[in-house]
Structure formats: C-alpha cells, structure tokens
C-alpha cells in the first residue's frame, strides 16, 4: 500500500515549484489561481525571491502547501492515494490531496494560519530547538522540571525531538538535557514556539476560520498529527487540526501506525527530502521516495 506524505515549514528553497509551472499547464493554472486568492504574486517569491523572503512564515507556509499539492496533482498521474499524512503545515496539504479540503479553501486556511502564527510570534518572542541522541520520555521529564514555558513540539524520529518555548526556557532546558546525556541541543532558525501553548492566540484565530470552512469526507484515511490515528470524519478532522497548533506532532507514531495498517511505500510530495530521511529512521523495511 502506498502512503503520500507532505512536508512542513523548513523545506522551502528559492526556485521551488518553477519546473512544475514551466512544464505542466495544469500546474500553471493552479499557481496563477493562488496568486489571485492570496492577493499578491507568491510565484515571484517562490521562483525568484530570496532566502529571507521564503523564511517569512506568511510566505513559507502557502509556498510549501502550493508546491506539495500541485506536485501531487500533476506528478501522481491521477492515482487515488490509499493513506496520507503531513508534518505540521503538511497536514493541510494531505487534507487537500485527500479531498477533505478544496485546493482554494486549503490555501486560504494555510494563509490564515501563517498570519495568525506570525502575530503570535510577535506577541510571544520564542523559538525551537532540536534534541539529538536522547530518549523522548526522559526529554519530556526534563522539560517538566523547567520553570519556564518549554515543551516537546515534534517527535520526529527515534533520537530526534524538537522542543518549543521561551528563549529562557530553551536555554535552561538545553543545559539540563545536555547534563542528562543528550548528544546535542541545537537552536532552530524558526520564528517562534510552534506546537506549544505559546501558540494559543493563533489557535483561537485559526479555530474560527476552520469552523467556517467546509470539510468533506476524504477519499482515504488522513493520519493526523494530534492523534497519529487515521481519520475520515470531517468534524473530528477539524477538531484535531485546531488542536495541532498547540500540541506536539506525533510523527514517529504516525509512520509506525501507517506501516502497521499496511503502508509499504512512502512518497513525499513537495520541496525537500526531510520526511524521507525521518521515515527511513523510523521504519527500515519500507520503500521511500520523493517527487517535486
């Protein structure tokens, strides 16, 4: 069984999606439609902008969504996916590909999510760090001892956990984690503490937008970040999508559950190869490839 997976923030690069735009008429139509929906030329930012442009959350998120969804649309030759999942932002790409969201509504929600998160980052200056070579449960226990906001954000693969928090919280947690035996703790180049309680203002704003948007029954199960479980009920999908913004991404469990339920092949659509690397570390016996 083939599973489609979609990347989150951090996979962007200058020139992303240009080959699709140039070589597939359907892709060009979708990109131009996106420019119209967003009210500015995101294709200019994607194809010929700067690294700095693409690191702005309100550009990064719709850019990655567009690249992933359009790549899947034109490169999978009409094959209906059997199961899908996306990492963080990538969950919106997964929902659009599975038909739970229309392309247009998916893009609007991603744009609203990005703007809400950007505001929350300004309101609560904060960041993220990656913890390497340490047990997840032990890392959780260390974070709970810190007298600042700091919490697990992404369970990426065995031995790799991202944490989110205030800068002071990350500093204190980093010192405590290294003292407890973590191999490395590295700050990430992101705008804020994603998937943590510091995103509550963004969550409240996004919840209003999600509640007003029509969701359909997807053509296949969508494995969601919040539960790592397959979902097809539109109301449950909406609830989990709202919770995702302040809760950790359960990526390791998601991939394990997909394999348990029959996935033998994973195809990553969109920019970058991050998910392919993570999947190989989670499940060694599956085929992994990318299309962009």
Determine, yes or no, domain membership for 192: no
Residues 102 and 236 in one domain: yes
For residue 14, being part of any structural domain is answered with yes
Of the pLDDT bands very low, low, confident and very high (cuts 50, 70, 90), residue 269 is: very high
What is the rounded average pLDDT for all residues in the chain?
95
| Range 115-138 average pLDDT | 93
Asked if residue 34 and residue 87 are part of one domain, the reply reads: yes
Total domains in the chain come to 2
Q: How confident is the model at residue 80 (pLDDT cuts 50, 70, 90)?
A: confident
Same domain, 70 and 149: no
pLDDT of residue 55: 84
Do 165 and 253 lie in a common domain?
A: no
Domain assignment of residue 93, yes or no: yes
Same domain for 116 and 226, yes or no, is: yes
Q: How far apart are CA 16 and CA 11, in angstroms?
A: 10
Please report the pLDDT score of residue 79 as a whole number: 79
pLDDT at 142: 95
Mean pLDDT on 189-209: 93
Q: What is the pLDDT of residues 158-189, one digit of tens each?
A: 999 999 999 999 999 999 999 999 999 999 87
DSSP H helical ranges for 39-89: 42-48, 51-55, 57-75
Pick the residue with more confidence: 78 or 190? 190
pLDDT for residue 57 is more than 90: no
Taking each helix axis as running N to C, give the angle between helix 90-97 and helix 57-75, from 0 to 180 degrees, rounded to the nearest 10. 30
Residue 178 and residue 202 share a domain: no
Q: Is the pLDDT of residue 77 over 80?
A: no
Residues forming the active site: 88, 195
Q: For the chain, what percent of residues have pLDDT higher than 70?
A: 100
pLDDT for position 132: 96
Query: Which residue, 153, 169, 187, sits at the end of a domain?
Result: 187
Enclosing domain of residue 256: 2-122+197-291
Task: For residue 163, give the CATH number of its domain.
Answer: 3.30.70.250
Predicted TM-score (pTM) of the model is 0.95
Phi, psi of 84 (to 5 degrees): -140, 155
Rounded Cα distance, 160 and 164, in Å:
14
Residue 76 confidence (pLDDT): 84
């Amino acid at each position: 069984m083939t599973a489609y997976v979609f990347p989150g923030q951090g996979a962007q690069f200058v020139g992303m999606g240009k080959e699709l735009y140039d070589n597939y008429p359907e892709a060009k139509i979708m990109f131009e439609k996106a420019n119209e929906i967003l009210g500015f030329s995101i294709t200019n930012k994607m194809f010929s902008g700067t690294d700095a442009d693409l690191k702005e959350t309100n550009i990064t998120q719709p850019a990655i969504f567009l690249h992933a969804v359009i790549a899947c649309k034109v490169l999978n030759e009409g094959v209906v996916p059997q199961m899908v999942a996306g990492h963080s932002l990538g969950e919106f790409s997964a929902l659009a590909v599975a038909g739970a969201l229309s392309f247009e509504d998916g893009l609007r929600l991603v744009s609203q999510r990005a703007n809400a998160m950007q505001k929350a980052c300004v309101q609560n200056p904060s960041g993220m760090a990656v913890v390497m070579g340490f047990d997840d449960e032990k890392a959780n226990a260390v974070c709970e001892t810190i007298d600042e906001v700091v919490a697990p954000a992404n369970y990426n693969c065995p031995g790799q956990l991202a944490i989110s928090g205030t800068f002071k919280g990350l500093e204190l947690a980093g010192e405590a984690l290294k003292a407890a035996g973590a191999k490395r703790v590295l700050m990430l180049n992101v705008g804020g503490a994603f998937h943590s309680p510091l995103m509550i203002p963004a969550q409240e704003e996004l919840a209003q937008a999600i509640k007003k948007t029509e969701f359909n029954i997807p053509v296949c199960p969508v494995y969601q970040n919040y539960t790592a479980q397959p979902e097809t009920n539109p109301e449950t999908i909406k609830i989990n999508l709202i919770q995702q913004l302040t809760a950790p991404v359960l990526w390791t469990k998601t991939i394990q559950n997909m394999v348990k339920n029959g996935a033998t092949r994973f195809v990553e659509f969109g920019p970058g190869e991050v998910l392919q690397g993570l999947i190989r570390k989670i499940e060694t016996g599956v085929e992994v490839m990318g299309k962009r």
